[in-house]
Structure formats: structure tokens, C-alpha cells
């Protein structure tokens, strides 16, 4: 969790909205989060999550657990 808090400012600087995050390459996302464990999978999940927020939720983070947990990389603890 501490590592995530360290890397997210740089990630959100280049992808502050779902629209901008979805346009980033997985490599760009990975560059920001590479010091996190399982960074390759997380980078793919972040990109796909942003795409799904746009496709399914009008670019907004859903408010219910079921919709949150249906997003890539979002488990019960995160939701």
C-alpha cells in the first residue's frame, strides 16, 4: 500500500482522467508503477479498467461493490 501511494502521483499526472488513462500505452503505465509488485499485470489492469469505465460507466467510478469488483484488478478489499 505504501508503494502504491508513492507511484500513483506520477501515474495520475500523465493519466488524470479515465479518458487520458485509456489512451496511455501499457508501457507508459508500467513505467510509472514498475516498482510495485506484479507491475506488468497491474499496468494491463489499469489500462483495461480505464477503458471499461468509459465503456460501461460513462467514465465514472461505479458506486456499488458488484460493479467495482467486475473491473480488472479490483478485489473486495479495494472495492
| Amino acid 1: pLDDT | 77
This prediction has a pTM of 0.92
**Residue-wise pLDDT tens digits, 18-54:** 999 999 999 999 999 999 999 999 999 999 999 999 9
CA distance 25 to 30: 9
Q: Collect all residues with Cβ–Cβ distance below 8 Å to 43 and sequence separation of at least 6.
A: 26, 27, 29, 30, 33
CA dihedral 45, 50, 55, 61 (to 10 degrees): 110
8 Å CB contact between 68 and 74: yes
Q: Alpha-carbon distance 28 to 20, whole Å?
A: 12
What's the mean pLDDT in 49-70? 96
Amino acid at each position: 500500500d505504501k508503494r502504491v501511494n508513492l507511484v500513483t502521483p506520477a501515474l495520475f499526472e500523465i493519466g488524470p482522467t479515465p479518458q487520458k488513462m485509456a489512451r496511455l500505452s501499457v508501457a507508459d503505465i508500467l513505467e510509472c508503477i514498475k516498482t510495485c509488485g506484479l507491475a506488468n499485470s497491474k499496468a494491463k489492469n489499469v489500462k483495461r479498467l480505464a477503458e471499461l469505465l468509459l465503456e460501461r460507466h460513462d467514465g465514472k467510478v461505479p458506486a456499488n461493490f458488484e460493479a467495482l469488483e467486475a473491473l480488472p484488478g479490483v478485489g473486495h478489499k479495494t472495492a
